[in-house]
Each structure stands twice: as C-alpha cells, then as structure tokens.
C-alpha cells in the first residue's frame, strides 16, 4: 500500500487530532453522489486465523478487518510519499518544498510536483526526476505549498519565514 498525508478537515477528539493538523497513513476515497470524501487511515490490520489458508479460497471475514484512525482530510492537501528521504531522514511528499545547497554553490529551491518529479525554481519549466542530481540525499524539506506558500516564487515570505 502507498503512504499519503493530508491536513485534517475537522478536530476529532476520538482520534486526538486538531483541524489543520497533518496526518499520515493510507488513503481512502469515498465516492458519494455529489462529491468525494478523502480519508487517511492510520492503521489497517487483517487478522488471520491459525488455520487460514488462501489455497481453499477462504478470505478473511469482515470481523477480521480492522481500521484505526479513519480521519477525513482536505482533498487538496493530499500528497503521496515519494519513497525518498531528505538529508535529515525526513519523508519527502508531493507538495513539499526542498532547499538544496551543495559545495558552496548557489542555494536553489525545488518544489515536489508529483512523486516522480521536481520543479526547479530558477530554470523555467525545468522538471526533473526525483533521483536526478541525487537531490534527496543533499536536499532538506523546508516546508510545503500549503503551510508555507511564501516559499514559492512570488510568495509573501522567504525560506527563513520572514515577510518579503
């Protein structure tokens, strides 16, 4: 299963989350008549009985399926984990903003557009595969496009969080 993150839509005392808090887990999209609802599932477990075997075509019953922490999130904030870690071991997700500085070269910023590519701020339309330039191993996640819109070109704050 793929790992995702999203910002919570509501405060949920049962799951101990506040509105706008980031949660990580598995993505579940519930299709309703007029809209889709997005949920992050913190834990999914399937309990198999000792004599359980797929050879007989028997699958786990509903009582054997357990979901913990089904938390509704804001659809626009959902991003998939790229499977990569930054220089500090932090997971890199779609929507993250990375700072890259290497051997005294000019500092550059990258926006993680999707799980496979980044957008390089200084070169118009430069899209590269995440593994190009060994970017994750020498880059640091410094924010994301939802919490830190000023980090993106034309924003209201620079990468130090100061108002421009």
Among 28, 46, 77, the domain-final residue is: 77
In percent, how much of the chain has pLDDT > 90?
29
CATH number where 86 lies: 2.30.30.290
- Do 87 and 147 belong together in one domain? yes
Among 58, 77, 96, the domain-final residue is: 77
Say if residue 123's pLDDT is above 60.
Answer: no
Q: What is the mean pLDDT of the chain?
A: 73
In the chain, how many domains are there? 2
40: tokens are: 């992050």
- Do 69 and 116 belong together in one domain? no
Domain contains 163: no
Please compute the mean of the pLDDT values over residues 77-103 and round it to a whole number. 86
pTM: 0.71
């Amino acid at each position: 299963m793929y790992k995702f993150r999203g910002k919570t839509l509501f405060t949920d005392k049962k799951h101990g989350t506040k509105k706008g808090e980031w949660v990580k887990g598995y993505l579940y999209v519930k299709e309703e008549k007029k809209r889709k609802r997005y949920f992050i599932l913190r834990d999914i477990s399937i309990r198999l009985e000792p004599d359980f075997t797929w050879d007989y075509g028997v699958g786990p019953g509903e009582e054997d399926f357990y979901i913990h922490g089904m938390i509704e999130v804001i659809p626009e904030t959902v991003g998939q984990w790229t499977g990569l870690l930054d220089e500090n071991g932090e997971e890199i997700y779609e929507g993250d903003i990375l700072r890259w500085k290497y051997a005294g070269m000019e500092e550059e910023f990258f926006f993680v557009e999707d799980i496979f590519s980044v957008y390089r701020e200084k070169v118009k339309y430069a899209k590269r595969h995440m593994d190009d330039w060994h970017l994750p191993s020498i880059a640091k996640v410094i924010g994301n496009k939802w919490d830190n819109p000023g980090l993106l070109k034309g924003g209201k704050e620079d990468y130090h969080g100061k108002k421009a």
